[in-house]
């Protein structure tokens, strides 16, 4: 039986990183300054369909996902619970002979190669003047080579704040495109300010 060919790729990995842009403070109030939310993409496709071998007959595929779980099938999608690096191994079983080819193929899955920019607003994205609003950066993170990452909030009302989870009270009514920026030091795009924005409506 010839070697198994494993094809795998992150879901949505071909999408352009519209959020990767330099920070700009020269933005008119209410304008959208950053890209949309970029939550962690933790689901991975695996495809062993090119491994068909007429001489071997029917084959069974067992995937060891590297997180303590296993999947079976020719084509699978596996979703990880944590953004990390994983080593996936594929065992191939030949029912006709009982042969088991363990670790027929090994694949490294690195979920740390793309930044994650995502934040929540609570209790809702609509508040009143004087009402505290909580902003949480959730699982936002830059790539693994980035160091000393700082979370910066620009509430677009003249006030800024730093921290993973902060509270802010708007002093006037309006629509505010709140920006969350991650700023880090290191190689690649770490020196840039990667940011996303979300609108908060403040009523009188």
Q: From 3.20.20.70, 3.40.50.720, 2.60.40.10, 3.40.50.970, which CATH number describes the 17-40+113-203 domain?
A: 2.60.40.10
94-140 confidence digits (pLDDT tens): 888 888 988 888 999 999 888 899 999 999 999 999 999 999 999 99
The reply to whether 17-40+113-203 and 43-110 are identical in fold is yes
Q: Which of 89, 93, 139 is nearest to 116 (CA)?
A: 139
3-54 confidence digits (pLDDT tens): 333 444 333 222 222 222 222 233 334 444 588 888 988 999 999 887 656 6
User: What is the C-alpha separation between 179 and 60, in angstroms, rounded?
Assistant: 49
User: What is the C-alpha separation between 136 and 65, in angstroms, rounded?
Assistant: 30
Residue ranges of the domains in the chain?
A: 17-40+113-203, 43-110
**12: which DSSP letter?**
T
């Amino acid at each position: 039986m010839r070697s198994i060919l494993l094809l795998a790729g992150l879901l949505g990995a071909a999408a352009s990183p519209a959020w990767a842009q330099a920070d700009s403070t020269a933005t008119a109030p209410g304008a959208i300054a950053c890209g949309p939310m970029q939550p962690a993409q933790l689901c991975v496709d695996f495809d062993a369909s090119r491994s068909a071998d007429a001489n071997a007959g029917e084959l069974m595929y067992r995937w060891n996902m590297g997180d303590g779980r296993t999947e079976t099938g020719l084509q699978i999608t596996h979703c990880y619970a944590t953004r990390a690096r994983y080593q996936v191994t594929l065992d191939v079983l030949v029912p006709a002979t009982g042969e088991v080819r363990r670790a027929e193929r090994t694949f490294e899955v690195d979920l740390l190669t793309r930044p994650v920019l995502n934040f929540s607003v609570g209790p809702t994205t609509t508040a009143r003047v004087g009402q505290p609003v909580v902003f949480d950066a959730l699982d936002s993170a830059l790539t693994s080579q980035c160091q000393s990452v700082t979370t910066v909030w620009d509430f677009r009302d003249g006030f800024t704040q730093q921290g993973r989870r902060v509270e802010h009270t708007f002093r006037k009514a309006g629509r505010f495109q709140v920006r969350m920026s991650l700023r880090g030091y290191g190689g690649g795009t770490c020196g840039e300010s990667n940011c996303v924005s979300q609108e908060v409506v403040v009523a009188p």
